[in-house]
Amino acid sequence: MKKYLLPAILFAIFEAVAVTLWLAKDNLFYLFNFSYIGASLALGVTLYIREYRHARRVTQLLVGSYMLVYLGLICGENMQIEGFWYYLFTGVFEAATIHYAVAKIFGPLIFGRGWCGYACWTAMVLDFLPYKRPQQPRKKLGWIRYVTFAASLIFVAALFLMHVGNIERIMFLAFIVGNLIYYAVGIAAAFSFRDNRAFCKYFCPVTVFLKPMSRFSLLRIKCDKSKCVSCGKCRQVCPMDVDVTDNSAKRANGTECILCLECVKNCPKKAL
């Protein structure tokens, strides 16, 4: 039973957040929301321990589709970055702001870019595409993320500055249109760069938060140098081009690691 300690701890952490927010905000939704996410993550880790090949994808589908369909489409909550700006401007500390604070701003200090590996509904679809391992070297196009980040902020600021009415409705439509654009660009980029995660590497505005915060992540894949034979297999299978054999803070593409554990699964020497 000892091997199931990690999923149990993970579930307990999410339960603590669920109960705290439920009592603090007097809203049962938080209890359901964080319990569901905690249970999905714990299930994924349990499946991984039991060596089920698609463990990560199970969690990704459970959490990603819940957020996209239930929170986004049914509850009408814009969980995209525009929604974050919107709730921030209105001063409402509700679902989208809490989601960003937990998953994308402060959470990465603990679990890095676990969001990108296990929960994002954009990557949930992109990960079905054929280029799970990048077929081309990384391009120097990371600057695009700052353009999309600025565009999202300008879009929401303009709605407020121009006193546009019924912003709530516009934000809902922006969620639908925004997601369609993300999927279209993401799929086109995956095929052009022969890399499923090209959208994550070059276009995603959320990485402006995720990358610097995950630099200090507590959860990190480390390499046992005494076992490593420098075969390069880990680099080959990594969807994000991380040099996981370098334990220093300066490891190449270190802030890109999505904790997918492909490198760990494929290391012939169990050095990771």
Residues near ligand SF4 (CB under 6 A): 116, 120, 122-123, 199-200, 204, 206-207, 221, 223, 228-234, 237-240, 242, 244-245, 257-263, 267, 269, 271-272
Which CB atom, from 6 or from 231, has the smaller least distance to ligand SF4? 231
Please name the residues in contact with 78: beta carbons below 8 A apart, sequence gap of 6 or more. Answer: 72, 86, 96, 171, 172, 174, 175
Which CB atom, from 22 or from 202, has the smaller least distance to ligand SF4? 202
Which CB atom, from 10 or from 206, has the smaller least distance to ligand SF4? 206
Retrieve residue 231's tokens. 């075969």
Q: How far apart are the first and last CA of the chain?
A: 23
Q: Give least dist CB 241 to ligand SF4, A.
A: 8
Which CB atom, from 42 or from 210, has the smaller least distance to ligand SF4? 210
In 3D, which of 270, 78, 97 has the Cα closest to residue 174?
78
Which CB atom, from 22 or from 95, has the smaller least distance to ligand SF4? 95
Q: Give least dist CB 217 to ligand SF4, A.
A: 11
Q: Give least dist CB 69 to ligand SF4, A.
A: 16
The vertex-203 CA angle with 107 and 62, nearest 5°, equals: 50
Position 233, amino acid: K
Q: Give least dist CB 237 to ligand SF4, A.
A: 6
Based on the number of CB atoms within 10 Å of its own CB, is 136 exposed (0-12), middle (13-18) or buried (19 or more)? exposed
